[in-house]
Amino acid sequence: MLDRRPDCLDALPASLEAESTVRVPAPGDLLFRQGDPAAAIYKVESGRLRLIRRTVDDHLVILHMARRGELFAEASLFADAYHCDAVAAALSSVRVYPRAIVMDALRTDPALAEAFMARLARQLQELRARMELRNIRSARERQIMRVHGSHRSS
């Protein structure tokens, strides 16, 4: 059964699991490169993957470290190309869910689509809260904000 907590999407339908594949990248191996055609979303089964973007002046910026149990590259469902590189930070096992299969499942399973949207909304709220903290110059004010939290809806 699908876990309906907004931040949990571990129990994907059996049809998605059956049509997925597993890749096992070694440390430093690329899963995909910025600009590659967007073909799938991914779930880390073990290990860690860095999502890295190259700036125009060729500096690397780590956008996210995907860990065990996390889905990543969800934006690829609605993009023509990946917006970053995915590089294994350790020996990893990554489940690959083809884009077309995921989109079909979201279109035909309202509960899955709702859980997926709720998960993305929660990620967006968390990102906004981190950005708000980052923009506070005073360390004292950042600590106050962390302790009391910023539970405003955006």
- pLDDT confidence of residue 2: 40
Q: Which residue has the higher pLDDT, 147 or 75?
A: 75
- pLDDT confidence of residue 140: 74
Backbone angles phi, psi at 70, to 5 degrees: -90, 140
Whether 36 and 100 share a structural domain = yes
User: Which of 86, 71, 84, 105 lies closest to 25, judged by CA?
Assistant: 86
Contact 31, 87 (CB under 8 A): yes
Print the domain residue range for 17.
9-108
- pLDDT confidence of residue 137: 73
- pLDDT confidence of residue 8: 46
Whether 69 and 98 share a structural domain = yes
Mean pLDDT value of segment 21-28: 97
Whether 93 and 45 share a structural domain = yes
Whether 102 and 113 share a structural domain = no
Q: Which range among 30-34, 41-45, 113-117, 126-130 shows the weakest confidence by mean pLDDT?
A: 126-130
